[in-house]
Amino acid sequence: MRKYDGVIFDLDGVICFTDHYHYLAWKALADSLGIDFDESKNDRLRGVSRMESLEIVLEGYHGTPLSDAKKTALADRKNALYRQSLQTMSPKDLSDEVRDTLNELRSRGLKLAIGSSSKNTPLILERIGLAGFFDAVSDGNNITRSKPDPQVFTMAAEMLRLPAEKCLVVEDALAGLQAAAAGGFASAGLGPAAQSGEATYSLHSFRDLLDIT
């Protein structure tokens, strides 16, 4: 008897990797505002919403106070730069390991969903060849609260028509693990999340999911 009936995946850093594209876009925006921005600051943006990320970037801003409208315009500019770079993505950005593991989980009868704060989720899935693959997609286009609030995962579970205790969340960011715990989900941590001590399971590779589901 299997432990879970569904698996909910974060997108960036789990299914594929777009961190570098995010970094280049935020770096370009920060440079235009005279703000120092590096990889370590970029790491603080993992798993949080676009506007919350902007506030972190603006911690180094010392110019004329910015109105809410100006901040929205800056966030839109960053997203335009990011989306432009995403056009270079292709199915080659989906590893064989991830593709094969997803197919194996599907063949075992598990329901699969995306739970991502990104509003660019549909574009990314289309570019890497996974448009229409998942049974449910909960993302920045249908949530009002970002991680560590559990909303994105609870909505995904509702779309799958499964209770939280029958779903496993797969995350690479601490905020995502905290969101999973807050929603009553077990979690599997990859990358930095695997070392945090807050994941139910720590994975060495994406394929390890086959051993815990």
Helix (H, G, I), strand (E, B) or coil at 114: strand
Q: Is the Cβ–Cβ distance between 105 and 6 less than 8 Å?
A: no
Q: What residues are labeled active site?
A: 10, 12
- Decide if pLDDT at 75 tops 80: yes
The residue assigned the tokens 């909303």 is 151
Q: What is the pTM of this model?
A: 0.85
- Decide if pLDDT at 7 tops 90: yes
Alpha-carbon span 213 to 109, nearest angstrom: 11
Pick 166 or 42 by higher pLDDT: 166
The DSSP code sequence of 42-109 is HHTTTTS-HHHHHHHHGGG--SSPPPHHHHHHHHHHHHHHHHHHHTT--GGGS-HHHHHHHHHHHHTT
Q: Percentage of residues in the chain with pLDDT exceeding 90? A: 86
Report pLDDT for 79: 92
Report pLDDT for 45: 86
- Which of 16-20, 43-47, 203-207 has the highest average model confidence (pLDDT)? 203-207
- Decide if pLDDT at 183 tops 90: yes
Q: Is the Cβ–Cβ distance between 100 and 94 less than 8 Å?
A: no
**pLDDT tens per residue, range 110-155:** 999 999 988 899 999 999 999 999 999 999 999 999 899 999 999 9
16: phi then psi, degrees, rounded to nearest 5: -150, 180
Range name among 11-20, 97-106, 203-212 with the lowest pLDDT average? 11-20
Report pLDDT for 46: 76
Q: Is the Cβ–Cβ distance between 86 and 21 less than 8 Å?
A: yes
pLDDT mean over 16-23 = 89
What is the CA angle 151-174-59, rounded to 5?
Answer: 90
Cα(first)–Cα(last) distance of the chain, in Å? 10
**pLDDT tens per residue, range 77-103:** 999 999 999 998 999 999 999 999 999
